[in-house]
Amino acid sequence: MGVAKKTRKFAAVKRVIGKNDDRRKTEAQKKAAMEIQKKEKEAVREIPQMPSSMFFEHNTALVPPYQLLVDTNFLSRTVGAKLPLLESAMECLAASVNVLISDCVLAEMEKLGPKYRVALMIARDERWTRLKCDHKGTYADDCIVDRIQKHRIYIVATNDRDLKRRIRKVPGVPILSVSKGKYAIERLPGAPA
């Protein structure tokens, strides 16, 4: 008997491992994928506790005299429209107003330079209440959002589009802005339209 001849198979090639094959993934990637799957399975759906002052959509903590938390560009727009801050706010809200300016807003205005010197003079007025900031940095938007999330007793005065978008996510916080040469309020229950 003779030896059987082995013939070479035509077009035989080695198989290539696919890019999504488990053998190509590193251990770290495998663990991360497993943790993500575990978190999705164990996702606890919790709603953050609402403050007791919130009654349905209305904030019962907002009572006169209103606490008006002022932003940098609101002051600059007020100066541009030549509006008196306190009188215009009282006219818009039809109640007495306490104007509050945080240290971050003042620091931001000082950084903006001489273009905002009139607005800075108005912000430094002794009639307004100064709020001390205890956080790092001088970014006024984060400071304002942090304050309104902790205590919903403020009406935020701003014209900043991004800040308005962030504030609208917090229920029960009205926004005051300058538009068409006067102050306009949004989201205040019982406010004149």
| pLDDT band with cut points at 50, 70 and 90 for residue 1 | low
**Cα dist. 141→57, 113, 173 in Å?**
24, 19, 15
Q: State the virtual CA torsion across 167, 139, 124, 80 in degrees, nearest 10.
A: -60
- Domain at 64-186, CATH from 3.40.30.10, 3.60.70.12, 3.40.50.150, 3.40.50.1010: 3.40.50.1010
Which residue reads 């013939």 in tokens?
7
Mean pLDDT of the chain: 86
If we measure between CA atoms, which residue out of 189, 191, 190, 192 comes closest to residue 57? 189
CB atoms within 10 A of CB 1: 3
Q: Residue 27 half-sphere exposure, CB side, CA atoms within 13 Å?
A: 0
Q: What tens digit of pLDDT does each residue of 153-193 get?
A: 999 999 999 999 999 998 889 999 999 999 999 977 666 55
> Mean per-residue pLDDT for 123-139?
91
Residue with tokens 């077009």: 11
Q: How high is the pLDDT of residue 29? A: 81
Quick one: pLDDT at residue 56? 62
Distances (CA, A) of 67 to 54, 172, 182, 191: 17, 14, 19, 16
